[in-house]
Amino acid sequence: MKKALVLLIAVFLSGCSSLDKASINDPSKHRELEALTVIPSYDVFLVRTDLIRSTHTETRTTTVNGQTQTTTVTVPDPYHYLCVNFGNGIFIDRNDNIYIDIMEFYGMDKNAFNITHQMNSFGKPEVYYKKAGNVFTREGKGLFSNKTTADISGNNVAIDEGFFGGGKAVITVTENEIVCDPKGILKWGKSKILKTGDSSVLFPVFGKDLEIRKDDSGNVIVGEDNLKIESSGKQLKFIFRGLFKKEIIHYFIRTETGFVFYDEKFRGVEVSKNGNQISVYLNNKLTEKFIIN
């Protein structure tokens, strides 16, 4: 959760623009939320929009005119198939990415669909998501884009991420465990999520396991109180705790056509649906669209 917290500060405090404060503060536009949950799950489709994208830093070295330069860059962590369902379409995956499952949030049919994802950014190719029967495909547009296929049958999912992807993997679901096994990779590459109670799960992680649970008040607790999610019926309160227990607070409300996730200065993400188009805005700027074909 600490990696995610760093990005949260960088993204939401970097711009000057903000969301519509008057609209967010209008209680007549708020819709009732579902109760919070802690349910182990997996997400093969990856039809997501980020609330908090976890990151890490990488050091890169280049040589120009005989001069060697070393720079440090911040890189988004990849999505992971294993995740926990908090309800209201909100999930956290094994790599600490907190996101909205677009299909889950809008109650879309996951048995058969055809969706196009467009990023409002130069050089970002369209991505096509399709499912018919047990077969799912995710494919980017462009010469070097990758194609992922998945055969979803019962409690087993066979994934092939293609030549430019991560190889093959199998997800197996049992009563108290979901395992993602990257085939062809050493055994330590396996990852799993364990159901440890009616409202608690465990991600076994090298060095220190990550526990996610509901407390006696119905709040969701991630790790050692790194993240606490509280519900007040029509609003969720996300309390992130960083170094020295410093708190950063965000809120989540459901609207008639989507949701808003914002900080105390009304900066954040807003999503709305109009007909067959779902639009995502970051601080009032359109960043991506999902088109339901």
pLDDT per residue as tens digits for the range 162-200: 766 668 899 999 999 999 998 754 445 789 999 999 999
Structure confidence at residue 7 (pLDDT): 46
Whole-number average pLDDT of the chain: 89
pLDDT > 90 in the chain, percent: 67
Kindly state the average pLDDT of the residues 255-261.
97
Q: What is the DSSP string of 188-243?
A: GG-EEEEEEETTEEEE--TTS-EEEEE-TTS-EEETTTTEEEEE-SS-EEEEEE-G
| Helix and strand numbers, DSSP H then E, in the chain | 3, 25
pLDDT in tens, 38-93: 999 999 999 999 999 988 888 888 887 778 888 898 888 989 999 999 999 999 99
- The CB-side HSE value for 110 (13 A sphere, CA atoms) comes to 13
Q: Residue 8: pLDDT above 80?
A: no
Structure confidence at residue 245 (pLDDT): 72
- Report the candidate in 95, 11, 12, 16 with the shortest Cα–Cα distance to residue 48: 95
- Report the candidate in 66, 61, 86, 67 with the shortest Cα–Cα distance to residue 238: 86
Contact 36, 231 (CB under 8 A): yes
pLDDT > 70 in the chain, percent: 90
Of 87-101, 143-157, 190-204, the range with the lowest mean pLDDT is 143-157
Give this prediction's pTM. Answer: 0.90
Most confident of 9-23, 34-48, 55-69, 143-157: 34-48
Task: Output the CA–CA distances (angstroms, integers) from residue 68 to 1, 38, 65, 217, in the order listed.
Answer: 34, 49, 8, 56
Return the domain boundaries, the chain: 2-108+194-292
**E strand or H helix that includes residue 148:** strand 147-153
